[in-house]
Amino acid sequence: MAIRNLDRSFGFLLHDMSRLMRIEYDRRVRHLGLTRSQWRVIAHLSRNEGCTQTTLADLLEIETPTLGRLLDRLEAAGWIERRPSLEDRRAKCLYLTAKPAPLIDEMFDISAGLQRDALKGMAQADREALIDILLDVKRNLVRMSAGAGPTAVFPPAAHAATGD
């Protein structure tokens, strides 16, 4: 039986890169005073304002009660607000308050800096090729998971081209 080189394993490499990116991102945003979970909620709401808690839980891939507790803390701190849904009187829609607006830009600037630093030394053509390959892999995975429950949101082409 051959010993597999996990350093060359696509899945292990992708997981390790994701973990290292999260650790470095957390280090860079620590001064902003929010946890990674809170930042994820704010980031997703900045792109999906007006969604329901259930929709946001699907996007974040966490359980609705877990998200509910997180939303309670964010609401108490004045970061988000819940408003009644116009379509379903039982549901609440989620919106950001004005409080996180200046931090959202900083958060995305920090993310862009991290991406720049992570891809340092790569030619622009290689960076673009890497992103194109990863988008192809993502398309394949989304296609495989279609019909198997909540699917990943695929970024619009215009947004994907900005590198965000």
CATH number for position 90:
1.10.10.10
Q: Is residue 114 part of a domain?
A: yes
Q: What is the pTM of this model?
A: 0.70
Q: Is residue 153 part of a domain?
A: no
Residue 46's pLDDT band (boundaries 50, 70, 90)?
very high
Backbone angle region of 150, left / alpha / beta, with phi > 0 → left and psi within -120 to 50 → alpha: beta
Domain residues for 138?
Answer: 15-146
User: pLDDT tens digits, residue range 7-44?
Assistant: 888 999 999 999 999 999 999 988 988 888 898 999 99
User: pLDDT tens digits, residue range 132-161?
Assistant: 999 999 999 999 988 665 544 544 443 343
Q: Is the pLDDT of residue 2 over 70?
A: no
Mean pLDDT of all residues in 46-56: 94
Q: Is residue 30 part of a domain?
A: yes
Q: Is residue 34 part of a domain?
A: yes
What does each C-alpha distance from 82 to 56, 85, 134 come to in angstroms?
13, 9, 35
As for how many domains the chain has, the answer is: 1
